[in-house]
Structure 1
Amino acid sequence: MPDFTVKVAQMETGLKAREEQFKGEIQAQLGYLRSYQQKHQLSDEFYKRWKDYFTCCMLEKKLFLIPNQTVTAKLPLWYQDELHATLPYFQNHHLLYLREYQNAARLLQLYLGLRQHNYQPLTNNQKLSVINQFFTGPTRDFLLLMLYQSMSENKIKDIKLEADLLATCQTEPYRSYLTRMLQKPTQVLSAADALLTQRNQPVRLQALAAGSRLTYVDFWASWCAPCRAEMPASKNLKAEYEAKGVQFVYLSVDENPAAWERAVKQLGLSEKESFLVPNPATSGLTKQFNLKEIPRYVLLDRQGNVLDANAPRPSDPKVHQVLDRALEE
């Protein structure tokens, strides 16, 4: 217990010193800026712009410790209140052109979310709730866009959450960008999407998709070890979701049909769910999905629309969230 008390005291001292340093820095910067303005007879607008810049730099540094959840959880209450008190500054939407303002807003959003959720990692829905609760106007919409970009970079597809993002975002050009990114691709059907059954009969992907609420497409090949390694998880996923209206379709890009058929038997895939993509190197289907590596997973709705062109793989826990959300639509 004494050791903990010492550490708390050390943190208090360090934070107070840190605050004094920041205060001294900005006072020196603004003092120099005022004298420079007067010496060169520059406008008040010049002074204000640079004052805004220095203030945003200071806030960014003040909030920079937030990404460390362990440190953030141990911050003394007076310092947490100080961080919370910076929130009104982020009504200065005209400062969004400054990278430092953007960074500070994102850090404050993270801090407010951690504090509200007992310093535990936040889900994307919780992040959205925090943004809507504490931020308004263009700054809120900038943070919404950053949330979407983070989801996109991590290949997270959440149809309901994306709809909520678009419904909330009102500021241009953020709204237009979100609209473009969230527009569903056109139907996957084209003359080039014909597949072959094991009986060498043609079938279209749209016709397959029409048979179920959702279709989880698995692009694989007999020679692809990672593809085959996912098959046990895929069978478990199928057992869980097939009764809910999700069908599983396995599309092989094997150049050798005999190798494909042999692998189908080895893996225990049924004939009604396993198909061959003819001439995969030039297939319109592989080009449409920009298929450059496998395994690759795609989620379709009943109309053959692409809900997720980079769906999580069967062994990824995120796949449950994606399927559950899609089934709710």
Structure 2
Amino acid sequence: MKRTLSLLLLSFICLNSFAQNLILKLGNGDKQSEYNFYYTDEVAMGHPYFGIKGTEVITIDKPVLLVEAESSQNCYLVNPGDTLVLRKIKGASATTVTRTNKKYTKVQNDEFLFFARLIKEIGPIRIPFTCPPDFKKEMSKQQRELKIRAMHQARLKYLKDYGARYKLSDAFTQYCRSLFSGVLIQDILTLCRKSETISALSVKEYAKDFDELKRELIAYPSAINNKQYQLALVNLSYLLTSAINEKKYSVVSSLITKHFTGGDKEFLLAYRLIMLIREGKLSVEVAGNYVKQYSINYPRSLYRAKVSEYYQNGVNAKKASTNTATVLINTKGNKSTWANLITQNKGKVVYVDLWASWCAPCKAEMPASHLLRKQYTNKAITFIYLSLDEKQADWKSSAASLKLPEGNSFLAEGDFEAKLARDLKITSIPRYLLISKSGQIVLPDAPRPSEAILKLEIEKLLKN
């Protein structure tokens, strides 16, 4: 399958600006291994996971950070025109990635391998949301921060030692320092607030630290295209606006404008607006006015086109509610349409799980989905599982092993090229939809089954 994605820019690598293929291939004799990677687009949206079977060809026009969707978080800098060979080593926690191109200098190849070597020696770049065992529940806020900062210093020391050994470019070193500073801010804020094993800290405990944390972010000329830096900005912005209803975008934007400047400000204004649009929290008319105003205020913004694109996606999502062109196939091979499915479930809330047999993150959410479905037994809600597999055999086999309910399990004819998928701009999965009792898609990018906020959204729709 060939896909075109908007990906994370790493502008310090000098390459041709026109689109080229990135080819990912399985190593010799590797037929069974499952590989899952993700990227982000330039406004840090989503985690477009995709699996690789045989050879995957992706068209890109900028360098990207390829991240393995495993606990190791292994990642590599890859460029347009690269050919990568993937191998699973028995007993290893991460995939071995080899770049076969011979056009690179030793410095460039050492930079390509830097993150994989760092992770092997120091550990994952980000602390996972499940708190590591060495962060004890009774640890104080200060103790947790000291431990996080110690991890940050270890990464910086590794970068310094690596640079002394392999002679990294100044631009690459500066990029890594900016990235690590973003990781530091994220871990301080998210580990202490979202961990499963540590009591959540009040946002108010960090609100007073906003200015200090913001000063710790290390700027870099292309940091606005640095995912970790971007996400640190996002977390700081939510800290700043925690006492405000986020639907009041005009108030949110005023605060962001007051505390951020330049590309950081333009990114945050775009990100917060896009999130409101994606989550269906603004009407089409209100969102359209904000999008228009953004374009007027920032005519040269790097994010102007993305804001408009996500707005149009939101408009298309509303239209997709009544789309009749997408054919659905049930487990018996019978065909129906998306429109018929929506009509049959009028009067009920519908939660749609878009998945595929090759998508490891999709399958990882299934236990939470089964539990949620049981909790809503005899309620006015239907759970639909819609596969975007290319082959019926792969879908049926995986659906059976996952014990998906046959009556609500379907294959979308055309996979990612199905009209429904195109209307909703579905280029990555897992993806979830929430549909109201009237048959309208109200959340075209709904929370995952494992996210607590999903229940709140479902309850609101059940009451209407």
Give the structure-1-normalised TM-score: 0.50
**Which structure has the greater CA radius of gyration?**
1
More strand by share: 2
Q: Report the TM-score, using the length of structure 2 for normalisation.
A: 0.37
- Pick 1 or 2: higher relative contact order, CA cutoff 8 A, min separation 6: 1
